[in-house]
């Protein structure tokens, strides 16, 4: 469990909060590139880290991320005209470029130099890997763009999406790094089949499903790295082997889900990042990619295919309709009665309340990755409070990673297994106390 003060610290991300200032030391996905696909296309409202912003792509294709409110009379720039390399407020015609400079002020006399004294808040924005990324921290600490796997492949090799979840971002991330829940929440077995192995369906061609079902209490190993941490969960398999799921957590938001057993160079990978909109809502960004070929239809993570409410980016299957739970399905088909795995996750995470009360938790050995996440977050926030230099990855290439599922002889250690995660970056633990 956490103290109330620590829970407040990691969940509050507005300007001037310790955690908010820590997260602002990283590049943060703000929206998908295709939301402002064309030059001079309509601007889009964006809310991240409790800040209301507006994103637009100018005539030259450059991306701007500005305060949503015009510095003149605080009219919303969402209604603005995106024209001739700037966003023009429709209230009095003030126009701003992607850097926040006021380039035209037609409501003032032509001889006035007032526009040269006005600048709107703006953040550096980059179109990278299907996302528009923002850097919202001190300019002197601006890091490299993260060289994440899905950004290092052609457009045809990836699919990305985002949708709204109505819970604090930490709940999403903790769900993403919780490997033990997969044996329950996402199980396709009924309770009777769980308790009676002889009644389980025969699954051939892979050990992944049977290992996940047969061993619901995996053993965890967590190791700090130069990008965040890596954790492994092993389950008993046949032939004196372990079934390993090895997952990198890339600071400050990103997971890569271990998929099928196979040649890691040929596999399709998927993952999520949960980015704070405000303290009670977050954006779940989803990414899928294959390094060697274009994605086939339906090969991406199913979260990317959920039907969304227009304008809100909220899934149509949501808490208002109990996530479509079917009690007959729960008795006979799967463990939850909810059809889609991503919706199963959302139901649990949103069902904890907008901000989970972690003072009432009772954590066990399967929660080691969650405990480590909180340790890193709290350490970074406190270092910010103390005026120190918190942990951030040193290079963009530190993010060149993938997850892995594999069968491994039980005598082989985690340190000998974890190199299978490597793409081009090292997974050697850093000395961080």
Which pLDDT tens digit goes with each residue over 232-251? 988 888 888 998 889 999 99
> 390, 25 in Cβ contact below 8 A?
yes
Percent of the chain past pLDDT 70, that is, above it, reads 90
CA distance 382 to 376: 10
Which range is least confidently modeled, 96-105, 325-334, 376-385? 325-334
Mean pLDDT throughout 15-30?
A: 98
Mean pLDDT throughout 111-126?
A: 95
Domain with CATH 3.90.380 in the chain: 149-421
pLDDT value at residue 427: 37
pLDDT confidence band for 262 (50 / 70 / 90) = confident
CA distance 375 to 369: 10
Which range is least confidently modeled, 118-132, 212-226, 382-396? 212-226
Looking up tokens 């993403």 gives 176
pLDDT value at residue 107: 93
Mean pLDDT throughout 348-359?
A: 96
Looking up tokens 């089949």 gives 193
Mean pLDDT throughout 204-226?
A: 68
Contacts of 76 by beta carbon, 8 Å cutoff, 6+ apart: 54, 68, 69, 70
pLDDT value at residue 168: 98
pLDDT at 46 over 50: yes
Which range is least confidently modeled, 166-170, 260-264, 399-403? 260-264
pLDDT at 49 over 80: yes
Contacts of 299 by beta carbon, 8 Å cutoff, 6+ apart: 268, 288, 290
pLDDT at 359 over 50: yes
pLDDT value at residue 60: 98
pLDDT value at residue 406: 87
Count the helices and strands in the chain (H runs, E runs): 9, 18
Fold of 149-421: Naphthalene 1,2-dioxygenase Alpha Subunit; Chain A, domain 1 (3.90.380)
CATH 3.40.50.800 fits 27-141, yes or no: no
Residue from 49, 257, 54 nearest 150 by CA: 257
Domain with CATH 2.102.10.10 in the chain: 27-141
pLDDT value at residue 423: 59
More confident residue, 226 or 417: 226
pLDDT at 213 over 60: no
Looking up tokens 């033990």 gives 180
Mean pLDDT throughout 181-202?
A: 64
pLDDT at 339 over 90: no
pLDDT confidence band for 197 (50 / 70 / 90) = low
> 229, 430 in Cβ contact below 8 A?
no
pLDDT at 207 over 50: no
Which range is least confidently modeled, 137-141, 208-212, 268-272, 328-332? 208-212
Mean pLDDT throughout 288-292?
A: 94
Which range is least confidently modeled, 30-44, 78-92, 404-418? 404-418
pLDDT value at residue 420: 62
pLDDT at 390 over 70: yes
> 222, 234 in Cβ contact below 8 A?
no
């Amino acid at each position: 469990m956490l103290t109330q003060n620590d829970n407040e610290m990691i969940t509050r991300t507005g300007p001037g909060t310790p955690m908010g200032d820590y997260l602002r030391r990283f590049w943060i996905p703000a929206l998908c590139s295709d939301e402002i696909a064309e030059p001079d296309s309509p601007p889009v409202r964006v809310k991240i880290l409790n800040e209301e912003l507006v994103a637009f792509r100018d005539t030259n294709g450059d991306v701007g991320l500005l305060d949503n409110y015009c510095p003149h009379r605080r009219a919303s720039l969402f209604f603005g005209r995106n024209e001739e390399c700037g966003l023009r407020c429709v209230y009095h015609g003030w126009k701003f470029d992607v850097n926040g400079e006021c380039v035209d002020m037609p409501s003032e006399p032509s001889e006035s130099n007032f526009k040269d004294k006005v600048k709107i808040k703006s953040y550096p924005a980059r179109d990278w890997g299907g996302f528009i990324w923002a850097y919202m921290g001190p300019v002197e600490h601006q890091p490299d763009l993260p060289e994440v796997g899905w950004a290092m492949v052609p457009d045809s090799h990836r699919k990305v999406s985002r949708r709204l979840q109505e819970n604090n971002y930490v709940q999403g991330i903790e769900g993403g790094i919780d490997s033990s829940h997969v044996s329950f929440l996402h199980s396709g077995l009924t309770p009777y089949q769980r308790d009676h192995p002889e009644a389980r369906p025969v699954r051939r061609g892979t050990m992944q499903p049977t290992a996940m079902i047969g061993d619901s209490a995996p053993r965890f190993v967590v190791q700090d790295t130069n990008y965040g941490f890596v954790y492994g969960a092993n389950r008993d398999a046949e032939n004196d082997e372990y079934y390993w799921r090895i997952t990198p957590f890339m600071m400050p938001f990103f997971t890569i889900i271990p998929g099928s057993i196979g040649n890691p160079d040929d596999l399709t990978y998927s993952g999520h990042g949960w980015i704070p909109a405000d303290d009670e809502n977050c954006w779940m960004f989803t990414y899928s990619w294959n390094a060697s070929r274009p994605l086939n239809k339906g090969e991406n993570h199913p979260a990317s295919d959920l039907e969304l409410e227009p304008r809100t980016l909220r899934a149509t299957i949501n808490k208002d309709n109990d996530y479509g739970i079917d009690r007959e399905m729960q008795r006979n088909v799967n463990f939850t009665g909810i059809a889609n795995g991503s919706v199963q996750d959302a139901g649990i995470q949103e069902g904890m309340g907008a901000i989970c009360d972690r003072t009432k938790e009772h954590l066990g050995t399967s929660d080691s990755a969650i405990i480590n996440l909180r340790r890193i977050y709290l350490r970074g926030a406190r270092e910010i409070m103390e005026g120190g230099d918190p942990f951030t990855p040193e290079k963009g290439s530190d993010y060149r990673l993938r997850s892995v599922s594999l069968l491994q002889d039980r005598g082989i250690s985690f340190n000998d297994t974890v190199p299978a995660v490597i793409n081009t970056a090292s997974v050697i633990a850093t000395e961080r106390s």
